[in-house]
């Protein structure tokens, strides 16, 4: 199981990384592994504003469909449209090319409230067992 | 005890004991005495032979379209049903099959639905077709909800043309969840396509038009989809009568996002008003917002062809609270009959029937228009229905036609107050020249 040490994590197996004034968001390696082959992504739209914990979109694999939850409230400023055409990239490069959205946090302090890479590693390992 | 009641005296006693009631009489104590065992005044019992003869006599009071020259359409159409369709659809394997809850053991049903979907996709020029809805009107209402969901609930207005079937517009209003969606466009019953295009805005989820429209007229569809898409909305086309697709450019070819239709004319007969068949087709772009069941073809681990219910997370299995629609049932048997009809007719057959409808309707319109006191209305090309201005109220006219063995057209004044004395006449392949001439002569005599 790969963990991006620069990112922080939600208990729904999503990662968030700080990038300048913005935050980048995607699903973890553990999440993509559990979902198996991902075939569909429905992202939000630029300009959408969400509260912490809101469902912002859907990811669908050959065996499941799951909502995407934004662990920090904010406004979507960029959507990875290339990922909509090639959702399978979420399986191969979940922390890199498969970022889903970039957003502007309404309270950047919430970032610190997410799990650290180390804590998430333990959390995901427990979930795996 | 009667052979038709499965409980023995012992069963009854055991049940009464369990619930602690001493007798049947005590059980029904709360029912007022007078209502408990009312005397039913039935004639004395008849033998099977006698009862059949009595039922036959009663059935003779029914009339069917076969008893008349039928010129009534307006949403339900009198077409020939080849004997092969009811014969095959009546086979026990098809007739008694229930919804494919366990798809892997319902391969025959799924294959039939898949073939229906495939042929309807060709007919409408669309990429994906669902397993069907209850009827054309509910299909249209589902299309409005799908448009709303395709816009992620951000567009709350549904524009509907006043020349969409009045009953479809009524169903739209009863069907849509209260408060979420605003329906407009048909406040002014004379609003034309240009007026509707003017009304498109950033809050419009879809524009619903019927082509040919309720009065039988073909719409000017050139550029319509572009205008709708420019406003960010979806174009929903009600393709009634569905046989028009045998002749006309399919809605998929002029940019429709959702196509719905009444599938009854495809081999189902008129059936005294139901069951009918809701045809529903869309583009792949919005397939995940599509309501209803969808059957797909795939291969199993051994590479053999098989059928599955595909994309089902959309509706009921995993994300039912997020589903566009929780209608998961379909008109299985009627869709099966439509599939059989389309397979039986083939592309050439559908075209031939459509041509017959078109030519006979045009012959009828020409002959009626020649009559001094009647006028065929409308300035657009038409398929097989047209409005006629009559010299007397349509209800009166129809009574006189009925005496002459003719089931007359639809009274447009019922739904369009400014169309007093206007009759919507429908001509199909079932109306031969003799019938049409008889109609024209009778109209002339009445007028």
CB contact at 8 A, B207 and B140: no
Kindly list the residues from chain A whose CB atom is less than 8 angstroms away from the CB atom of residue B318.
64-65
CB contact under 8 A, A45 and B313: no
Closest CA to B232 of B317, B321, B142, B157: B157
Nearest to B319 among A40, A45, A65 (CB): A65
pLDDT tens string A3-27: 999 999 999 999 999 999 999 999 9
CB contact under 8 A, B318 and A67: no
B131-140, B311-320, B407-416: least confidently modelled range: B311-320
pLDDT (mean) for A96-112: 94
At A127 the pLDDT is 83
Interface test with A, best of B316, B318, B323, B324 (most A CBs within 10 A): B318
Largest Cα–Cα distance in chain B?
Answer: 83
CB contact under 8 A, A65 and B152: no
pLDDT band at B299 (very low <50, low <70, confident <90, very high): very high
Q: Establish if A78 touches chain B: CB-CB under 8 angstroms.
A: no
The rounded mean pLDDT for chain B is: 93
Interface test with A, best of B313, B314, B315, B318 (most A CBs within 10 A): B313
Q: Establish if A62 touches chain B: CB-CB under 8 angstroms.
A: no
Question: Which residue is listed with tokens 């039988």?
Answer: B216
Closest CA to B328 of B358, B294, B371: B294
Nearest CA in chain B to A39: B311
At B2 the pLDDT is 60
Kindly list the residues from chain B whose CB atom is less than 8 angstroms away from the CB atom of residue A64.
313, 318
Which of 26-55 (A) contact B at CB < 8 A? 40, 42, 45
Check pLDDT > 90 for residue B37.
Answer: no
Check pLDDT > 70 for residue B282.
Answer: yes
At B428 the pLDDT is 97
CB contact at 8 A, B325 and B339: no
Kindly list the residues from chain A whose CB atom is less than 8 angstroms away from the CB atom of residue B152.
45
The rounded mean pLDDT for chain A is: 93
Say how far residue B209 (Cα) sits from the centre of its chain: 16
CB contact under 8 A, B313 and A65: yes
Nearest to B318 among A42, A45, A65 (CB): A65
Kindly list the residues from chain B whose CB atom is less than 8 angstroms away from the CB atom of residue A40.
288
pLDDT band at B279 (very low <50, low <70, confident <90, very high): very high
Closest CA to A98 of A107, A89, A110: A89
Kindly list the residues from chain B whose CB atom is less than 8 angstroms away from the CB atom of residue A58.
319, 322
Kindly list the residues from chain A whose CB atom is less than 8 angstroms away from the CB atom of residue B322.
58, 67
Q: pTM for the complete prediction?
A: 0.86
Angle (CA) A69-A74-A80 rounded to 5° is 65
Those residues whose C-beta lies under 8 Å from the C-beta of residue B6, and which sit 6 or more positions away, are: none
Nearest CA in chain A to B286: A42
Check pLDDT > 70 for residue B367.
Answer: yes
In the A/B pair of chains, how many CB contacts fall below 8 A? 14
Q: Buried b vs exposed e over A28-64: b needs ≥16 C-beta within 10 Å?
A: bbbbbebbeebbbbbbbeeebebebebebbbbbbeee
pLDDT tens string B9-20: 899 999 999 999
Domains and CATH numbers, chain A: 8-128 (2.40.50.100)
Phi, psi at B351, each rounded to 5°: -70, -40
Check pLDDT > 90 for residue B427.
Answer: yes
At B313 the pLDDT is 59
CB contact at 8 A, B242 and B265: yes
Those residues whose C-beta lies under 8 Å from the C-beta of residue B154, and which sit 6 or more positions away, are: none
pLDDT tens string B215-228: 999 999 999 999 99
Kindly give the pairing relationship between strand B182-184 and strand B157-160.
Answer: parallel
pLDDT tens string B80-135: 999 999 999 999 888 887 777 777 788 999 999 999 999 999 999 999 999 999 99
Those residues whose C-beta lies under 8 Å from the C-beta of residue A40, and which sit 6 or more positions away, are: A58, A59, A60, A87, B288
CB contact under 8 A, B322 and A67: yes
Q: What is the ipTM of this complex?
A: 0.75
pLDDT band at B73 (very low <50, low <70, confident <90, very high): very high
Domains and CATH numbers, chain B: 65-79+347-446 (3.90.1150.10), 84-342 (3.40.640.10)
Nearest CA in chain A to B313: A65
At A112 the pLDDT is 92
pLDDT (mean) for B378-407: 97
Nearest to A64 among B288, B318, B322 (CB): B318
Kindly list the residues from chain B whose CB atom is less than 8 angstroms away from the CB atom of residue A67.
319, 322
pLDDT (mean) for A80-91: 95
Query: Cα–Cα distances in Å, from B354 out to A76, B220, B244, B319?
Result: 52, 20, 6, 42
CA dihedral angle for residue B80, residue B84, residue B85, residue B89, rounded to 10 degrees: 160
Question: Which residue is listed with tokens 């498109």?
Answer: B200
Q: Looking at CA atoms only, how far is residue B118 from chain A in angstroms?
A: 23
CB contact under 8 A, A42 and B288: yes
pLDDT (mean) for A73-88: 95
Those residues whose C-beta lies under 8 Å from the C-beta of residue A45, and which sit 6 or more positions away, are: A76, A79, B152
B314-323, B368-377, B422-431: least confidently modelled range: B314-323
Those residues whose C-beta lies under 8 Å from the C-beta of residue B2, and which sit 6 or more positions away, are: none
Give the CA radius of gyration of chain B: 26
| Tokens at B296, concatenated | 């797909």
Q: Establish if A81 touches chain B: CB-CB under 8 angstroms.
A: no
B278 DSSP β-pair partners: B133, B262
Check pLDDT > 60 for residue B316.
Answer: no
pLDDT tens string A28-63: 999 999 999 999 999 999 999 999 999 999 999 988
């Amino acid at each position: 199981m790969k963990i991006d040490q620069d990112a922080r994590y939600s208990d729904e197996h999503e990662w968030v990384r700080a990038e300048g004034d913005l935050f980048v968001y995607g699903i973890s390696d553990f999440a993509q592994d559990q979902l198996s082959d991902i075939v569909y992504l429905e992202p939000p739209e630029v300009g959408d504003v969400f509260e912490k914990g809101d469902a912002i979109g859907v990811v669908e694999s050959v065996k499941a469909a799951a909502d995407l939850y934004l662990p920090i409230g904010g406004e979507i400023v960029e959507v990875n449209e290339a990922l909509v055409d090639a959702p399978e990239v979420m399986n191969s490069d979940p922390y890199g090319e498969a970022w889903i959205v970039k957003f502007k946090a309404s309270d950047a302090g919430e970032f610190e409230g997410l799990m650290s890479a180390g804590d998430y590693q333990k959390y995901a390992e427990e979930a795996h067992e | 005890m009667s052979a038709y009641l499965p409980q023995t005296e012992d069963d009854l006693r055991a049940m009464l004991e369990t619930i602690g009631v001493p007798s049947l009489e005590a059980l029904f104590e709360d029912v007022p005495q007078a209502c408990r065992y009312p005397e039913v005044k039935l004639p004395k019992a008849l033998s099977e032979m006698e009862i059949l003869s009595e039922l036959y006599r009663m059935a003779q009071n029914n009339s069917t379209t076969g008893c008349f020259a039928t010129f009534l359409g307006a949403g339900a159409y009198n077409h020939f049903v080849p004997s092969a369709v009811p014969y095959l659809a009546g086979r026990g394997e098809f007739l008694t099959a229930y919804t494919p809850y366990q798809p892997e053991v319902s391969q025959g049903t799924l294959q039939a639905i898949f073939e229906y979907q495939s042929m309807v996709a060709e007919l409408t020029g669309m990429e994906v077709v669902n397993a069907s809805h209850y009827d054309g009107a509910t299909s249209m209402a589902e299309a409005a909800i799908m448009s709303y969901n395709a816009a992620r609930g951000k567009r709350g207005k549904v524009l509907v043309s006043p020349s969409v079937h009045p009953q479809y517009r009524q169903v739209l209003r009863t069907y849509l969840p209260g408060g979420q969606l605003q329906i407009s466009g048909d406040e002014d019953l004379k609003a034309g396509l240009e007026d509707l295009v003017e009304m498109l805005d950033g809050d419009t989820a879809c524009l619903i038009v019927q082509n040919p429209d309720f009065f039988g007229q073909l719409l000017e569809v050139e550029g319509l989809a572009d205008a709708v898409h420019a406003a960010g909305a979806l174009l929903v086309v009600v393709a009634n009568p569905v046989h028009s697709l045998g002749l006309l450019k399919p809605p998929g070819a002029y940019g429709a996002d959702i196509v719905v239709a009444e599938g009854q004319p495809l081999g189902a007969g008129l059936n005294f008003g139901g069951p009918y068949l809701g045809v529903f087709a869309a583009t792949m772009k919005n397939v995940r917002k599509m309501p209803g069941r969808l059957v797909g073809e795939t291969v199993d681990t051994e590479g053999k062809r098989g059928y599955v219910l595909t994309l089902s997370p959309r509706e009921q299995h995993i994300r039912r609270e997020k589903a566009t629609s929780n209608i998961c049932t379909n008109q299985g048997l009627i869709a099966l009959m439509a599939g059989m009809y389309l397979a039986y007719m083939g592309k050439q057959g559908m075209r031939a029937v459509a041509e017959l409808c078109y030519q006979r309707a045009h012959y009828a319109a020409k002959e009626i228009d020649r009559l001094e006191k009647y006028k065929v209305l409308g300035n657009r090309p038409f398929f097989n229905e047209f409005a006629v201005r009559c010299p007397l109220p349509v209800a009166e006219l129809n009574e006189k036609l009925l005496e002459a063995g003719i089931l007359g057209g639809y009274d447009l004044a019922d739904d369009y107050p400014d169309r007093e004395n206007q009759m919507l006449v429908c001509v199909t392949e079932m109306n031969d020249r003799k019938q049409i001439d008889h109609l024209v002569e009778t109209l002339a005599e009445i007028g």
